[in-house]
Amino acid sequence: MRIACWSGPRNISTALMRSWSSRNDSFVSDEPFYAYYLREQQLKHPMYKEIIRYYPNTYDDVVTSLTSEIPNDKEHWYQKHMAHHLIDFNNIHWIKKFENCILIRHPKDVINSYIKKNRLNRVDELGYPQQYKIMRYLDSIGKKFIVIDSNILLNNPEKILSQWCSSINLEFDISMLKWQKGNHSQDGIWWKHWYDNVITTTHFQKFSVNQSQLDKKYQSIYDEALDYYNKLYYFAER
């Protein structure tokens, strides 16, 4: 089974990848379209030269890899994706062969976290419009999907993960609730810049309300993101 989790940045997507990597039956991949996205968009993210040089950076090469044999003789392949790394939405038919999850987080929390690490110019850098397109595509072809809100998951990870596993006819494994501290072998080489929080964890951290205020210069991006978030949240597991 191949599982694609479509997240945006500054979510709990890496912790969730840790969770799936704790299963003995699963192989995980970390943002396989990142190099392609950076090259196509000519973005100078931290470590962009190394990332483009180190990983496959054409769309066809990445898709061929993701749809090939599951590595390491594992039964399942969990793929952590950033939804905004997809650029051509006329060529995403391959995802219908996957079990798809859309992972969302409230945009105020995402924006306040993102701007500590990178410049923010447009809402599509946060993945919300792309997540909505993915959901619309899957719905249009009658393909089942699941939406998970990170705050709900953090409040009850065992319940939400169990519901997710059940929805794809997979037995929940209690090992998904814990992992080893530090960086993992499956982490992208960008972990040194982005993963400073998650590498200190061994389990999902209880959700706490962020009291930080949103900088007014991001208000229009926030408003756009919130509209998409609310449309996606309607379908979220409770």
Token pair in block for residue 99: 């079990």
The answer to whether residues 104 and 148 touch, using CB atoms and an 8 Å cutoff, is yes
User: What average pLDDT score do residues 74-81 get?
Assistant: 98
Give every CB contact of residue 72 below 8 A, 6+ residues apart in sequence.
27
Predicted confidence band of residue 99 (pLDDT cuts 50, 70, 90): very high
Mean pLDDT of 61-78: 97
**What tens digit of pLDDT does each residue of 206-238 get?**
877 777 889 999 999 999 999 999 999 999 998
Task: Read off φ and ψ for residue 43, nearest 5 degrees.
Answer: -95, 140
Residue 118, pLDDT > 80, answer: yes
State the total domains in the chain: 1
pLDDT of amino acid 175 = 98
Mean pLDDT of 41-54: 94
Question: Is position 37 within any domain?
Answer: yes
Position 10 in a domain: yes
CB atoms within 10 A of CB 6: 29
Question: For residue 1, what pLDDT is reported?
Answer: 97
More confident residue, 205 or 225: 225
Q: Which two tokens stand for residue 56?
A: 């496959």
- Give the model confidence (pLDDT) of 124-180 as tens digits: 999 999 999 999 999 999 999 999 999 999 999 999 999 999 999 999 999 999 999
What percentage of residues in the chain have a pLDDT greater than 70? 100
Residue 238 belongs to some domain of the structure = no
Compute the average pLDDT of residues 87-97.
96
Contact 34, 109 (CB under 8 A): no
pLDDT for res 234: 95
For residue 15, tell me if it sits in a domain: yes
Q: Which SS3 state, helix, strand or coil, does residue 194 take?
A: helix
What CA–CA distance (Å, rounded) separates 65 from 185? Answer: 18
Rounded CA separation 56/166 (Å): 33
What is the edge-to-edge ordering of all strands in the sheet holding 26-30?
26-30, 76-82, 2-7, 99-104, 145-149
The rounded Cα 179 to chain-centroid distance in angstroms is 18
Q: What is the pLDDT of residue 212?
A: 81
Q: Residue 205 sits in which domain range?
A: 2-233
Q: Which amino acid is at 182?
A: G
Residue 64 lies in a domain: yes
Q: Over 90: is that where the pLDDT of 187 sits?
A: yes
Alpha helix (H) residue ranges in the chain: 13-21, 34-41, 48-54, 59-66, 107-114, 128-140, 150-155, 157-167, 191-194, 219-233
* Predicted pLDDT of residue 179: 97
Q: What is the CATH number of the domain that holds 142?
A: 3.40.50.300
Does the residue 168 lie in any domain? Answer: yes
Whether 95 is covered by a domain: the verdict is yes
What average pLDDT is seen over the chain? 96
- Among residues 168, 195, 164, the alpha carbon closest in space to that of 182 is found at 195
